[in-house]
Amino acid sequence: LQISEVTSNNNNGLRDADGDSPDWIELYNATNTALQLGNYYLSDRPNQPLRWALPDAELASGTRVTIFASGKDRREIEGEWHTNFRINADGETIVLTDASAGIIDRITLDPLRNNQSIGRSTTSPSGWRRYEPENASPGKPNTDEGEPYVAAPQLTVSPGIYPSAQFLSVRDRKSTRLN
């Protein structure tokens, strides 16, 4: 199970049954077997990984489910699913975890423009792409039409003027040293 696509600034794009256009998270079952989703959780707070439990439903192999990040907290198996949190449009990390709080997948989002999404590439599942609104594809396979996406790096030294030389490291948001 993996996060396949996310938007944090849904502005009259995909609508829910109430007519609202909340942000959304798409999950994809990339395994060869059906998965019981009741053992998985989504959160926008990595330090609270069990924030929203997925419904105890089955997701067939090779299929997707789109979950609205609306704060409405709905888990009816036959209806739309809505998390108990919203995604911050200024950017944040979304985590998918198992029942023991082990991280299965994560994506760190930078701010997105209206109706842009970040999705996993179909030709390189470990790569992410930024999709313009016309290429966002909730509930459908992602395309390779978007531009490659990497979250903004973090610097270990703040910008400024220093009296002596400074050692600078560049890290991604998972604290992996890039240089």
Q: How far is CA 148 from CA 78, 124, 132, 161, 170, in A?
A: 35, 11, 12, 33, 19
pLDDT at 151: 65
Rounding to the nearest 10 degrees, give the CA dihedral for residues 16, 18, 21, 27: -30
Mean pLDDT by 10 residues, the chain (179 residues): 93 92 95 96 96 96 96 92 95 94 92 89 76 86 76 74 83 48
pLDDT at 125: 60
pLDDT at 175: 42
pLDDT at 93: 93
Query: pTM for the whole thing?
Result: 0.83
Sign of CA dihedral 14, 17, 19, 24: negative
